[in-house]
């Protein structure tokens, strides 16, 4: 018999999907720069098979308004100028080739501190990595 995950863990996994989607989208420029500097990123990634949504195009959003984008970029530049050492350290922690690495490290810490019975830990990792994969394809 397959048991479902505790509600809080399922909610946290859903939140991980949303946050990771936003992080992937926010880092697109940085990753494009890295691709031109280091190794190419797979250009067909947006067409990979997804597990939960019908396709990576399921969460497509319209392009931003150019005027709003300019104002938002000014806000981002202003905020970037106010980063302190702690903020830069948090950025460095997430500035990794694969955000899934960071999420897996977080889940390792959570499961180590709060062991789940049976195979629920394995299921938690599987579900989280499915969500991370789908977020990557979607972004």
> How far, in Å, CA of 29 to CA of 21, rounded?
14
Residue 103 burial class via C-beta count within 10 angstroms: exposed 0-12, middle 13-18, buried 19 and up: buried
What's the total number of domains in the chain?
Answer: 1
Which pLDDT score is estimated for 1? 42
Distance CA 17, CA 9 (A): 12
pLDDT tens track for 1-31: 445 556 666 666 666 665 555 555 555 545 5
Mean pLDDT (the chain, rounded): 77
Asked if residue 87 is part of any domain, the answer here is no
- The parts of the chain modelled with pLDDT lower than 50 are 1-2, 29, 32-33, 35
Structure confidence at residue 47 (pLDDT): 81
By residue range, what is the domain housing residue 132?
7-62+96-138
Burial 76-90 (b: 16+ CB within 10 A, else e): eeeeeeeeeeeeeee
Residue 67 lies in a domain: no
- Residue 40: Cβ-neighbour burial (10 angstroms; 0-12, 13-18, 19+): exposed
Query: According to the model, what pLDDT value does residue 113 have?
Result: 93
**Is the full-model pTM beyond 0.85?**
no
């Amino acid at each position: 018999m397959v048991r479902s995950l505790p509600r809080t863990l399922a909610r946290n996994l859903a939140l991980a999907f949303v946050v990771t989607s936003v992080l992937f989208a926010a880092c697109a420029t940085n990753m494009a720069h890295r691709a031109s500097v280091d190794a190419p990123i797979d250009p067909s990634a947006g067409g990979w098979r997804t597990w939960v949504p019908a396709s990576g195009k399921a969460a497509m959003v319209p392009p931003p308004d150019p005027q709003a984008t300019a104002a938002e970029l000014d806000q981002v530049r202003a905020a970037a100028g106010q980063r302190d050492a702690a903020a830069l350290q948090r950025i460095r922690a997430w500035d990794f080739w694969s955000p899934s690495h960071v999420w897996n490290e977080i889940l390792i810490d959570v499961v180590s501190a709060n062991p789940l019975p049976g195979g629920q830990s394995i299921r938690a990792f599987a579900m989280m990595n499915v969500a991370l994969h789908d977020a990557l394809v979607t972004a």
